[in-house]
Amino acid sequence: MSYHLRNLLTASLGIFCSCAGLADAQGAGPGTTLIEGYYWIRAVAPPNFHKYLQSNPVITESNAVLESHTTAGQFQIVDGQLVQLISEPGAPEEFLYGVVSTERFIDDKSLQLSFSIEQNTHGTFAWQGDTLTWSTPDIERPNTAAFYVCTDQLVYINLGAYMYQTPEGCADQTIHYYNDKVANE
């Protein structure tokens, strides 16, 4: 049964799994060894030091979170799209795309990041050195690398100044690629 068909059936039957860390509940995914051409993306400062970007539940259309190295997603940026590899090694490549909401959250200061089979239509992802950035011509941001990590480890685009008036329950973070063969703590 295909990955997407399994997700559709699971959702239509009302069966939900909060089994973050159990990739084989949805399929094996790319595994814990980095595939050539992809990167891990992680925070490098407290309070989320070495927490890794991923979908939650893993390898499914869902919210973006920073979580354990054991379930880290594998990413690249292609034509401004943040692309998460979800297929097993050797299988035809399947992807999820980082999608930025147009709706504002958390005191009108942020946009939520999630993962979808549909490409992002709001803004552009890029690398600035090893740092993940997001920008769009219709929103002027003081720091295109500023993210919030909030309750339940959810990831948001920070529209305000980095480390200034951070909303309660959130931490300011920048997130960076890492290309060692395995994600570490």
What CATH number did the domain enclosing 57 receive?
A: 2.80.10
In a domain, 36, yes or no: yes
Q: What does the pLDDT read at residue 66?
A: 98
- In 23-87, which ranges are E strands? 40-43, 52-56, 62-67, 74-78, 81-85
In a domain, 3, yes or no: no
In a domain, 5, yes or no: no
Q: What does the pLDDT read at residue 28?
A: 73
CA distance 145 to 162: 9
Number of domains in the chain: 1
Q: What does the pLDDT read at residue 182?
A: 95
Tokens of 5: 């068909």
Q: What does the pLDDT read at residue 2?
A: 30
Whose CA is closest to 56, among 21, 29, 100? 21
In a domain, 57, yes or no: yes
Q: Which residues of the chain have pLDDT under 50?
A: 1-26
In a domain, 12, yes or no: no
Q: Which residues contact 177 (CB under 8 A, 6 or more apart)?
A: 39, 40, 41, 75, 127, 130, 132
Q: In which domain, by residue range, is 132 found?
A: 19-178
Q: What does the pLDDT read at residue 27?
A: 57
Q: Which residues contact 154 (CB under 8 A, 6 or more apart)?
A: 63, 64, 65, 112
Q: How far is CA 134 from the centre of its chain?
A: 12
In a domain, 148, yes or no: yes
Q: Is 132 helix (H, G, I), strand (E, B) or coil?
A: strand
In a domain, 2, yes or no: no
Q: What does the pLDDT read at residue 12?
A: 36
